[in-house]
Amino acid sequence: SFCTLLALAPTTMADTFKYGEPVVYSEPSWYQFFESPYYEPKHVAFRGKVRAFVEAELVPHVAEWEERHIENPNGFEMPIRDFLRKAYKAGVFAPQWPEKYGGTPPEGGWDAFMDLIWIDEIGRSQSAGVFSAFTIITMALPLVL
């Protein structure tokens, strides 16, 4: 039977790194038990690093930041400098840029799949302001360089 085949199947990278929510389509399929020829252990490690930062430093504060902005749209400033310093120390700020330009590249190097992971995980903050603060560097820095 199919269940017997599953029980006898060899352990794969995806089996080892089950991650995320079990709700159907709530996470990319490679986060669960589905093989991908594109995602490697370095991607899994990077995803874990970014998600840990988002869960610890963004999610607990986003609702307050959004509320304070609604109450006082011209007077509230998100604590952007502190937030970006924490992101830099955590290794998740501008990971696509080399260290010599202030980036924090992940172990194993940056690739297009890292970019997808980074955007997905930062998007979990559910804040356009936070997302913009992180991603503007991808548009602005090439012009400076």
b/e map 121-145, b = 16+ CB within 10 Å: bbebbebeebbebbbebeeeeeeee
- Sequence letter at residue 60: P
Q: How far is CA 56 from CA 2, 13, 16, 27, 138, in A?
A: 40, 26, 24, 19, 23
CATH number of 40-144: 1.10.540.10
User: For 67-96, what is each residue's pLDDT tens digit?
Assistant: 877 777 776 676 777 888 899 999 998 899
Token reading at 84: 């970006």
Q: What does the mean pLDDT of the chain come to?
A: 78
Average pLDDT value for residue range 59-71: 82
User: For 101-122, what is each residue's pLDDT tens digit?
Assistant: 888 999 999 999 999 999 989 9
Is the model's pLDDT at 29 over the cut of 90? no
pLDDT score at 134? 80
Is the model's pLDDT at 13 over the cut of 70? no
Among 112, 113, 94, residue whose Cα is nearest residue 102: 94
Tracing tokens 């992971």 back to the chain, one arrives at 117
Token reading at 42: 């370095």
Q: How far is CA 63 from CA 35, 99, 134, in A?
A: 36, 32, 17
Is the model's pLDDT at 2 over the cut of 50? no
pLDDT score at 41? 87
Average pLDDT value for residue range 2-18: 46
pLDDT score at 113? 92
Q: Specify the domain boundaries for CATH 1.10.540.10 within the chain.
A: 40-144
